Each structure stands twice: as C-alpha cells, then as structure tokens.
Amino acid sequence: MIFWTAAAAAAALVLLIVLFLYRRQVRRLCRQMEFLKKHKTNLRLTSELPFSELNLLIDEVNELLDQTRETQRNARSSEESLKETITNLSHDIRTPLTSLDGYFQLLVQSNSDEERQHYLSVIRSRITSLKEILEELFTYTRLQNDSWELPLEKADFGKCTFDTVFSFYDDFRKKGVEPEIRFCEERIYVMGNEEAIRRTLQNIIRNALVHGKQRILLTMEKQDASVIFTCRNDVEKPEQIDVTQVFQRFYKTDSARTNTSTGLGLSIAKGLVERMNGEIRAALTDGMFEITVTMKCI
C-alpha cells in the first residue's frame, strides 16, 4: 500500500513538473511570437522540450512563417517592379509625345511648304512609333493573363519566315547590312499562329538591327521533327549582355532608351513562342549574340 502511494505521489510530481515546463515553454513561445510581430527578422520558433506534438506544432508554425516571409518578399519585389514598370512606360510614351509636340509647334510656325511637308513626315513617323509602343504594351499585357488563349492552327512556318525577313529589306539597307541567309526551301508546317510567328520573328530581327553592329546571320533548318530558326548578330560589348535576363521585361544592356523600343520585344517573343508550345533561348558565342526558336513540325 505504501509503495503504491509513493508511486502515485512520484507520478503526480512528475506530471506537475511536466505541466510546469510545458506552460513555461508555451509562455516562451508567446514571447517569441510577440518579438516576431514587432521586428523584421528571420528568427524561427524554438523549443527546449522533447514533446513530439509540441515540436510538430512549432514546425508547422515555422513553415507558415517562412511562407509569410516569402509572400512579403515577393510583394516587395512586385512593388519595386511595378514602380520600375511605370517609370519605364512613362519614359517610353513621353519621348515620342514630346517630339510630336515639338514638331507640331514647328509645323504651325512654318510658312514653307517644303518644311511643312518635312514636319508632317516626322510627325507621322512619331505617331507610328507611338502606335508600335502601345501595341507592344497591349500584347505584353495579354501575355501576362494566364486565361488568354492564343488560337493555334496549322501554320506555314517557312512562308512566315521568308515574308518577315523580306519585310526588313529597307531596314537592312538603311543600316548598311547585308544579312547572311541560310534557309531550307522545303515547306515546314507547325501547330501555331501565323500572326504570332511573324510578330516573334519581327521582334527578334528588330533586336538584331538595333543592338547589332554589321553582321547578321539568319538560318532556318529542319532537324528531325522540329524547325529551328536562329538569328545571330555581332555585338559591340558582349561582356555587358546577361543571356539569362534578355527575355525579362525592359531588359537593356545600357540605360539608353529610344522612342522606338520599350525593352519588351524579346519578352513578348518568348511569351508568344511558349503559347505555341515552342522553345526560345539566347546564347552568346565568340562575340555573337543569338536567339534560337524551336517548334515541332506537323
């Protein structure tokens, strides 16, 4: 009888000690939570007790804390990105508008028919540039919408490529560049969208014209069940190009911005290619920057 009484008393004492330690640990966790609420820190909740249930709860809370911190980091990054986007868009749109205003004032003040025709020509050019900028912004916005679907059908990739390259004839001539063209002549069909294919190739070639020096190489070939289009151009400062970032919006190798470029061209090209279930990549080899588009043939 005395043994069982002693055992019961010992068990009760142990339970009281455990309860005391448990309550002390809960109070300690509350203080930790209070500290985390008031301070920006990466500290995590900790426990000094070997209670599996309590430690499991702490692990779950720590995981929730990690998720919350990641959400906050993403929110801050998105906010900074939005600020940068607004700044860039303001600059891109303001530049041609400012130019338009200036030439319009010259047009109003001029009494020479020849000057007026020149100013009208420049104004038309600036309006075209502004329309292109707005169209790029519209396309980029649509590509950010996951619910937007690009209609796909059987498309003649080869014809789209020939037509697009030929449309740049005057641009190549003005820059004094004679592109090296190596295209296979067979008909190549893909499941895609002809307008999107042309837009993709236009953005890639325009990028080569803007940022290239004097050499542009365009190739189109069929390998196995895929068609591969590649645009290569020499660059003045290859060390400044980060090929991992070229498809990011507003990426530019320098801070200079022009009235004909939003920095969205390659980002739009990437979005369109991926909507057509293709692949686009960038590389830098021996001072030559290249963009490669790969799509499955049908």
What is the predicted pLDDT for the residue at 256? Answer: 44
Q: Is the pLDDT of residue 30 over 50?
A: yes
Q: Is the pLDDT of residue 144 over 90?
A: no
- One-letter amino acid identity for 281? R
Any residues with CB less than 8 A from the CB of 28 and at least 6 apart, and which?
48
CATH of domain 153-296: 3.30.565.10
Q: How far is CA 127 from the centre of its chain?
A: 27
Q: What is the mean pLDDT of the segment spanning 97-123?
A: 90
- Asked if residue 234 lies in contact with residue 287, where contact means CB atoms within 8 angstroms, the answer is yes
Per residue in 47-93, pLDDT tens?
Answer: 877 778 888 888 999 999 999 889 888 888 877 876 776 777 777 77
Q: What is the mean pLDDT of the segment spanning 90-108?
A: 84
- Asked if residue 214 lies in contact with residue 177, where contact means CB atoms within 8 angstroms, the answer is yes
Output the pTM of the full model.
0.67
For the ranges 129-133, 176-180, 194-198, which has the lowest average pLDDT? 129-133
CATH of domain 74-143: 1.10.287.130
What is the predicted pLDDT for the residue at 83? Answer: 75
d(CA 20, CA 106) in angstroms, rounded, equals 87
The domain ranges of the chain are 2-73, 74-143, 153-296
What is the predicted pLDDT for the residue at 1? Answer: 65
Per residue in 230-289, pLDDT tens?
Answer: 999 998 888 888 888 888 876 665 544 444 556 788 999 999 999 999 999 999 988 899
